[in-house]
C-alpha cells in the first residue's frame, strides 16, 4: 500500500489515541410500535460513546429479532435492516472495545436461548473478574462465542436454578463485582439494572405510553421523550404488560459515580447524575481560571471537549474567548496502525488553526485532559507555528495518572504521562510556556460531587473496589 493511501486511511489515529474512550452506550424502549427505529435514533444520539460497532435486538411478544454490525449507526442500522426488527420493544448498543476483540462476534446485544427462554443483553461498564470466571466456566464445559466479559453473565443466568429470568438475573448480579449498567430483553419484558455503586450512568424516560432507558438524556431529546429520572445505584427496573415496577435487590454499597462523565465522556447537552454536563464544564473552567491564572490575549478551546471549560475560563479571567482551532468532523476512526512518519500528520487532519486570530498573541489552550501527551505536544506546536508568541495549556481536571477498571479504555499506567512526569516535566515535554491543572477539590466542587460519592481513581489511585489482580486501593 502506498504512503499516500496510508495517509488517507489513518486520518485521526494520533488524535484518537490520546483520549480516553467510554466503552459504549445503551438504549432500550418498551411499548412503542416503532421500537427498532426509535432505538436506532437513540443510539445515533449516543454515537460519541462508541464508534466501532452497534446492534439492536427487538421483541414481538413471542420471538427476539437481532441485527449487529461493525460500523457507525447511520451507516449500518439502515431502513432495510430495521424493517426486519419487528415488535414493540427493543434494546440497542453502540460499542468501543475496552475488553474483548474488535470483531463481529463481540458486537452487542448478545442473544441466547436457555432454560429461562430467549434473553438478550447489552452492557455499559466492565467486569474486572470476568476473565477468571470465564476460565472456571470453560473448565465446566461452557462454550463461548466471544471474548466479551458480558457473555459470562449470560452463562451464569442460564445455569441458575432460579424459577424465572428476573430471579436468575438477580442471583447472578448479586455475585458480580464491577461496573455495570445493563439492559436485558425477553420476548415480553425489558429489564434495566445499575450496579450498587452507580459507576456508569443510566436514565429513565417516557415517550407517550412507552418507557425508555438510556446512558444519557441526550438520547431522549432526539426522540422527544420526557426525562423522568436517573435510575438509582443498585436499582432494577422491570417493564412488561403489567407496567413498570422497581426494586433494589442488591446489598447497598458506597456510591462511586464516574466523575469523568462530566469531564469528557458525556455530551454537554446531557444531564448526568442529576446535573447539567455543560454547566459542570463551564464551572470547571471558571474554577480553573481562579486556580491557574495566566496573563494572555485569547482563550482558545481544544475542540470539541474543551469548549465549555474554555468559555468558563474566559468569563472568569476576562480574557477574550476565540474559537481559533477548527475541527474537521468528517475525519473518522481508523483501525490500522500507521507508520510513525505518517502518524505525525494525525492532529493536523483533525484540527487546524485560524492564523489571523492566533498570530502575535499570547494563547491559553483549554482542554479536558492530557493522556499520553502526544496530541497536546502537537497542538502546542501547531499553535506556535500559527504565530502565537506564548502558549499556555490549562486542563479542566487533575493530572490523570492511573488506569480505569470500570468501563473506560485507558492505557497502561506507565503510558500515562502524568504517572511518570511532574507537571513541570509534562509542560516541558509538550512545549508549553506554562501548564496548569484543575485540582481534584475544584473539579468536584464544580460538578457538585464529593469524594464520598464519586470515583476519582484515575486521578487519585484510590479504587472503590478490588481490582482484577487482587489489589485494592
Q: What is the pLDDT of residues 191-215, one digit of tens each?
A: 999 999 999 999 999 999 999 999 9
Quickly tell me which residue has 468528517 as its cell: 330
List the pLDDT tens digit at each of the 473 positions of the chain: 444 333 333 334 444 446 655 568 999 999 999 999 999 999 999 999 988 899 999 999 999 999 999 999 999 999 999 999 999 999 999 987 544 456 788 899 999 999 999 999 999 988 877 777 778 877 887 778 777 888 889 888 998 999 999 999 999 999 988 899 999 999 999 999 999 999 999 999 999 999 999 999 999 999 999 999 999 999 999 999 999 999 999 999 999 999 999 999 999 999 999 999 999 999 999 999 999 999 999 999 999 889 999 999 999 999 999 999 999 877 654 433 344 444 446 777 889 999 999 999 999 999 999 999 999 999 999 999 999 999 999 999 999 999 888 877 666 788 899 999 999 999 999 999 999 999 999 999 999 999 899 999 999 999 998 776 544 33
24 is catalytic: yes
Name the segment(s) of the chain with CATH classification 3.40.50.2020.
Answer: 272-460
d(CA 64, CA 236): 22
DSSP string, 139-178: HTT---SS--THHHHHHHHHH---SSHHHHHHHHHHT--S
Q: Which CATH number fits domain 22-253: 1.10.10.10, 3.90.226.10, 3.60.20.10, 3.40.50.1220?
A: 3.60.20.10
Nearest CA-CA partner of 232 in 263, 210, 260, 257 = 257
- Please give the C-alpha separations between residue 436 and each of 142, 290, 297, 369, 457, in angstroms, as whole numbers: 51, 11, 17, 11, 20
d(CA 306, CA 413): 24
Name the segment(s) of the chain with CATH classification 3.60.20.10.
Answer: 22-253
Spell out the residues 6+ positions from residue 375 whose beta carbon is closer than 8 angstroms to its own.
14, 15, 17, 18, 19, 347
d(CA 211, CA 466): 35
Structure confidence at residue 51 (pLDDT): 87
Nearest CA-CA partner of 176 in 230, 250, 238 = 250
d(CA 456, CA 400): 10
Structure confidence at residue 18 (pLDDT): 63
Spell out the residues 6+ positions from residue 6 whose beta carbon is closer than 8 angstroms to its own.
336, 338, 339, 342
Number of CB atoms found within 10 A of residue 248's CB: 12
**Would you say 360 and 37 are in contact if contact means Cβ atoms under 8 Å apart?**
no
Structure confidence at residue 97 (pLDDT): 58
**Would you say 224 and 187 are in contact if contact means Cβ atoms under 8 Å apart?**
no
d(CA 223, CA 102): 30
Entry pTM: 0.89
Q: What is the pLDDT of residues 207-244, one digit of tens each?
A: 999 999 999 999 999 999 999 999 999 999 999 999 99
Nearest CA-CA partner of 446 in 396, 394, 402, 392 = 396
DSSP string, 176-224: --SEEEEEEEETTEEEEEE-TT--S--EEEEETTEEEEESSTHHHHHHT
d(CA 386, CA 393): 16
Sheet arrangement for strand 24-30: 64-70, 53-59, 89-95, 24-30, 210-214, 203-207, 226-230
Strand partners, 22: 408
Which three cell numbers, joined as nine digits, stand for 376? 497536546
DSSP-derived 3-state class of residue 245: strand
3-state secondary structure labels for all residues of 33-63? CCHHHHHHHHHHHCHHHCCCEEEEEEECCCC
Which ranges of 231-306 would DSSP assign to H, the alpha helix? 260, 277-291
Query: What are the backbone dihedrals phi and psi of residue 93, each rounded to the nearest 5 degrees, phi first?
Result: -145, 135
d(CA 456, CA 444): 9
Structure confidence at residue 334 (pLDDT): 40
* Domain 272-460 annotated CATH 3.10.110.10: no
**Would you say 367 and 396 are in contact if contact means Cβ atoms under 8 Å apart?**
yes
- Please give the C-alpha separations between residue 30 and each of 35, 124, 185, 210, 242, in angstroms, as whole numbers: 7, 19, 9, 6, 12
| Cα dihedral 246/249/252/254 (nearest 10) | -60
Catalytic residue among 24, 54, 212, 218: 24
Instruction: Output b/e per residue, 191-219; b: 16+ Cβ within 10 A.
Output: bbbbbbbbbbbbbbbbbeebbbbbbbbbb
Amino acid at each position: 500500500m502506498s504512503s499516500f493511501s496510508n495517509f488517507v486511511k489513518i486520518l485521526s489515529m494520533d488524535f484518537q489515541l490520546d483520549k480516553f474512550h467510554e466503552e459504549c452506550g445503551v438504549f432500550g424502549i418498551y411499548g412503542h410500535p416503532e421500537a427498532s427505529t426509535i432505538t436506532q435514533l437513540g443510539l445515533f444520539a449516543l454515537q460519541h460513546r462508541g464508534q466501532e460497532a452497534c446492534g439492536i435486538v427487538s421483541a414481538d411478544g413471542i420471538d427476539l429479532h437481532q441485527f449487529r454490525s461493525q460500523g457507525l449507526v447511520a451507516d449500518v442500522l439502515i431502513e432495510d435492516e430495521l424493517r426486519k426488527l419487528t415488535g414493540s420493544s427493543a434494546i440497542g448498543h453502540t460499542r468501543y472495545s475496552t475488553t474483548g476483540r474488535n470483531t463481529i462476534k463481540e458486537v452487542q446485544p448478545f442473544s441466547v436461548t436457555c432454560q429461562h427462554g430467549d434473553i438478550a443483553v447489552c452492557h455499559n461498564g466492565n467486569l474486572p473478574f470476568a476473565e477468571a470466571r470465564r476460565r472456571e466456566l470453560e473448565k465446566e464445559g461452557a462454550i463461548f462465542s466471544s471474548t466479551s466479559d458480558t457473555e459470562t453473565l449470560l452463562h451464569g443466568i442460564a445455569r441458575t436454578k432460579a424459577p424465572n429470568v428476573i430471579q436468575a438475573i438477580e442471583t447472578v448480579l448479586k455475585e458480580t463485582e464491577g461496573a455495570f449498567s445493563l439492559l436485558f430483553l425477553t420476548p415480553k419484558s425489558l429489564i434495566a439494572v445499575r450496579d450498587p455503586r452507580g459507576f456508569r450512568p443510566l436514565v429513565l424516560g417516557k415517550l407517550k405510553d412507552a418507557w425508555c432507558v438510556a446512558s444519557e438524556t441526550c438520547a431522549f431529546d432526539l426522540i422527544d421523550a420526557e426525562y423522568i429520572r436517573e435510575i438509582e445505584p443498585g436499582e432494577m427496573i422491570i417493564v412488561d404488560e403489567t407496567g413498570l415496577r422497581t426494586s433494589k435487590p442488591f446489598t447497598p454499597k458506597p456510591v462511586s459515580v464516574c466523575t469523568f462523565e462530566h469531564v469528557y465522556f458525556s455530551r454537554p447537552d446531557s444531564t448526568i447524575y442529576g446535573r447539567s454536563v455543560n454547566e459542570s464544564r463551564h464551572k470547571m473552567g471558571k474554577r480553573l481560571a481562579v486556580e491557574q491564572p495566566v496573563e494572555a490575549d485569547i482563550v482558545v478551546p481544544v475542540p470539541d471537549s474543551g469548549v465549555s471549560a474554555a468559555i468558563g475560563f474566559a468569563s472568569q479571567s476576562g480574557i477574550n474567548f476565540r474559537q481559533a482551532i477548527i475541527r474537521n468532523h468528517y475525519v473518522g476512526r481508523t483501525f490500522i496502525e500507521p507508520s510513525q512518519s505518517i502518524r505525525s500528520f494525525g492532529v493536523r487532519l483533525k484540527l487546524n488553526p485560524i492564523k489571523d486570530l492566533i498570530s502575535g498573541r499570547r494563547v491559553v489552550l483549554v482542554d479536558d485532559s492530557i493522556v499520553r501527551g502526544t496530541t497536546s505536544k502537537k497542538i502546542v506546536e501547531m499553535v506556535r507555528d500559527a504565530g502565537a508568541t506564548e502558549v499556555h495549556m490549562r486542563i479542566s481536571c487533575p493530572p490523570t495518572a492511573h488506569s480505569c477498571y470500570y468501563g473506560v479504555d485507558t492505557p497502561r499506567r506507565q503510558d500515562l504521562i502524568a504517572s511518570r512526569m511532574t507537571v513541570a516535566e509534562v509542560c516541558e515535554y509538550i512545549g508549553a510556556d506554562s501548564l496548569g491543572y484543575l485540582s481534584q477539590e475544584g473539579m468536584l466542587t464544580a460538578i457538585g460531587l464529593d469524594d464520598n460519592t464519586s470515583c476519582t481513581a484515575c486521578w487519585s489511585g484510590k479504587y472503590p473496589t478490588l481490582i482484577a489482580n487482587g489489589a485494592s486501593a
